[in-house]
């Protein structure tokens, strides 16, 4: 028999509790890097320390590697390894919270819908990336022109999008006289629960208003703030884990030791007591989400675009340059923190210092290129919402301006050495077209600002913003990213 994490001799213990007690009461859509190192790990710790029976049915909807991962989980009895890597040491954990794993390629669309429509399914959670919600990032509304949305409206019983699956599963539950479930987004969207609600109700409304009304009554959409830096697995990272674990685990994932999860306590069908293993249930998550999206993710994107352009491969590499380190901290404290309304006693300086420390962790190797992906989906909540606040208040926001200009320079598709950049973004073709059509830098900036799914209707018409971004873009072209960040002082 082939050796795998389920049957080989390992350097760490497999789960000690009886895994037969697991009930797949949570269907998770998007079994990617993050979910394996975050929600599935919290749930594992709960199983380990209490008599909880909450387990996962994992679902991936995308082809290729995401399908292979589901097959590999099936092959190794749903066990896999998480490597928590600090600056000096690594802790391995074999995670046992998954009960089953499904993919349309192996289980069919119906297999997945059946799992979601089972009476015992109480929660459907999601980490399907920002673009998985098919919403217009600037307005937060469902994008009815999205090709997945159009497919799902034409083929409601054979959906392709995560939102389409949720609606069809809820339609089946309604038909069978069952109740709804909780839809819990764990993606980095502003007010992610409200975004999930807007997407689900938007599509349901377009399909059948009576179903939409039933969903509005039967389903809750708690917001969550989720945090743990989990870079995509590389061959090198998997090999390092194999060397320490004693067997190769294709589903293994490395992450930082830090983790945080703040959840709005709004579940219609019960929930695991994740607060017993470090999560926090609160009445209002939004301030924590905003803090994390602006201070952590905003500075991550800043470092990603300007770091990549300067030739830094990872976030930790950018942090070796004191100018980048200072710029990230100044962005967090001078331009993001003042836009937040936090509960009394929140220590934003301490939070910024912790983030700088986390970004410096040299063993993570989180690629600037990875964070630079999907900028069209990330910029609005990470940088542009705060820009709007500064424009209104008349405050300085030069780091944010440079971050936006850095994104513009990055999506030109050619780096400072003249090499092609592999742009991964749903709007990549549009960027290419803009750069083909417009040679003059000012015209390129203008054309990018005219993408209203990113910048809305207001920002392109704001002369102060347009001239600040144009000046920063020109500085990047003349002096390069490194010198421009160093000149921030």
Q: Give, as ranges, the residues between 364 and 403 that touch ligand NAI (CB under 6 A).
A: none
Using the rule CB under 6 A, is 136 a contact of ligand NAI? no
Nearest distance, CB of residue 91 and ligand CS2, angstroms:
19
Let me know: does 254 contact 237? Beta carbons within 8 Å. Answer: yes
Nearest distance, CB of residue 118 and ligand NAI, angstroms:
21
463-486 and 398-410 are packed helices; what angle lies between their axes, rounded to 10 degrees?
80
Compute the CA torsion angle 403, 407, 412, 418 (nearest 10 deg). Answer: 60
Using the rule CB under 6 A, is 130 a contact of ligand NAI? yes
Cα distance between the two ends of the chain = 61
Extract the tokens encoding 185: 């987004």
Q: Which of 60, 161, 224, 297: binder of ligand CS2 (CB under 6 A)?
A: 297
Q: Give, as ranges, the residues between 20 and 39 that touch ligand NAI (CB under 6 A).
A: 30-35
Extract the tokens encoding 255: 């992450």
Q: Which does 162 bind (CB under 5 to 8 A by kind): ligand NAI, ligand CS2, none?
A: ligand NAI
Q: Which of 81, 161, 188, 368: binder of ligand CS2 (CB under 6 A)?
A: 188
Residue nearest to ligand CS2 (CB): 300
DSSP 469: H
Q: Which does 30 bind (CB under 5 to 8 A by kind): ligand CS2, ligand NAI, none?
A: ligand NAI
Using the rule CB under 6 A, is 371 a contact of ligand CS2? yes
Instruction: Identify which of residues 43 and 188 has a Cβ nearer to ligand NAI in the complex.
Output: 188
Q: Which does 101 bind (CB under 5 to 8 A by kind): ligand NAI, ligand CS2, none?
A: none
Using the rule CB under 6 A, is 317 a contact of ligand CS2? no
Distance CA 480, CA 473 (A): 10
* Exposure letters 93-113 (e unless 16+ CB within 10 A, then b): bbbbbbbbbbbbeebebeebb
Q: For residue 487, what are the contacts with CB-CB under 8 A and spacing of at least 6?
A: 475, 479
x/- site string to ligand NAI, residues 50 to 89, per CB under 6 A? ----------xxx---x-----------------------
Using the rule CB under 6 A, is 84 a contact of ligand CS2? no
Tell me the pairing of strands 123-126 and 23-29. parallel
Extract the tokens encoding 35: 């979910």
Extract the tokens encoding 240: 């390092």
Q: Which stretches of 186-229 are assigned E, i.e. beta strand?
A: 224-227
Distance CA 27, CA 408 (A): 38
Instruction: Identify which of residues 37 and 469 has a Cβ nearer to ligand CS2 in the complex.
Output: 37
Distance CA 448, CA 94 (A): 46
Q: Which of 84, 187, 227, 335: binder of ligand CS2 (CB under 6 A)?
A: 227
Distance CA 478, CA 489 (A): 18
Q: Which of 41, 83, 229, 468: binder of ligand NAI (CB under 6 A)?
A: 229
Q: Footprint of ligand NAI on this chain (CB under 6 A)?
A: 30-35, 60-62, 66, 127-132, 161-162, 187-188, 226, 228-230, 232
Summarize as ranges the residues that interact with ligand CS2 (CB under 6 A): 188, 227-229, 296-297, 300, 370-371, 378
């Amino acid at each position: 028999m082939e050796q795998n994490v389920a049957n080989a001799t390992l350097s760490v213990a497999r789960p000690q509790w009886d895994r037969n007690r697991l009930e797949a009461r949570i269907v998770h859509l998007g079994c990617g890097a993050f979910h394996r190192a975050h929600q599935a790990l919290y749930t594992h710790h709960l199983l380990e320390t209490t008599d909880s029976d909450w387990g996962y049915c994992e679902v991936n909807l995308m082809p290729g590697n995401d399908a292979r991962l589901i097959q590999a989980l099936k092959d190794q009895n749903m066990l896999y390894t998480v490597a928590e890597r600090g600056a000096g040491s690594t802790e391995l954990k074999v995670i046992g919270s998954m009960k089953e794993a499904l993919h349309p390629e192996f289980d069919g669309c119906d297999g997945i819908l059946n799992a979601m429509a089972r009476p015992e399914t109480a929660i459907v959670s999601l980490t399907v990336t920002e673009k998985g919600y098919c919403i217009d990032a600037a307005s937060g509304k469902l994008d009815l022109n999205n090709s997945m949305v159009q497919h799902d409206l034409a083929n409601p019983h054979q959906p392709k999008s995560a939102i389409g699956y949720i609606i069809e599963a809820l339609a089946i539950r309604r038909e069978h006289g069952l109740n709804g479930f909780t839809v819990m987004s764990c993606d980095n969207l502003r007010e992610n629960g409200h975004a999930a609600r807007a997407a689900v109700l938007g599509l349901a409304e377009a399909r059948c208003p009576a179903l939409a009304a039933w969903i509005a009554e039967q389903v809750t959409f708690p917001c969550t703030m989720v945090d743990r830096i989990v870079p995509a697995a590389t061959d090198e990272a998997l090999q390092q884990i194999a060397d320490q674990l004693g067997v190769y685990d294709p589903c293994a994932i490395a992450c930082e030791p830090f983790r945080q999860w703040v959840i709005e306590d709004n579940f219609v069908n019960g929930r695991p007591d994740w607060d017993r293993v470090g999560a926090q249930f609160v009445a209002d998550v939004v301030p924590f989400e905003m803090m994390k999206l602006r201070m952590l993710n905003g500075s991550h994107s800043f470092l990603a675009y300007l770091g990549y352009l300067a030739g830094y491969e990872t976030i930790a590499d950018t942090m070796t340059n004191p100018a980048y380190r200072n710029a990230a901290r100044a962005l967090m404290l001078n331009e993001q923190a003042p836009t937040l309304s936090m509960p009394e006693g929140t220590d934003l300086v301490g939070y910024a210092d912790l983030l700088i420390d986390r970004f410096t962790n040299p063993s993570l190797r989180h690629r600037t290129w990875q964070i630079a992906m999907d900028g069209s989906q990330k910029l609005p909540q990470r940088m542009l919402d705060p820009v709007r606040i500064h424009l209104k208040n008349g405050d300085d926001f030069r780091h944010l301006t440079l971050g936006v200009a850095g994104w513009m320079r990055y999506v030109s598709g050619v780096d400072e050495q003249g090499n092609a950049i592999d742009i991964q973004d749903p709007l990549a073709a549009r960027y290419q077209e803009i750069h083909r059509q417009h040679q003059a830098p000012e015209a390129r900036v203008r054309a990018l600002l005219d993408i209203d799914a990113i910048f809305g209707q207001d920002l392109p018409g704001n002369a102060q913003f347009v001239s600040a971004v144009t000046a920063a873009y020109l500085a990047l072209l003349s002096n390069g990213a490194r010198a421009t960040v160093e000149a921030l002082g």
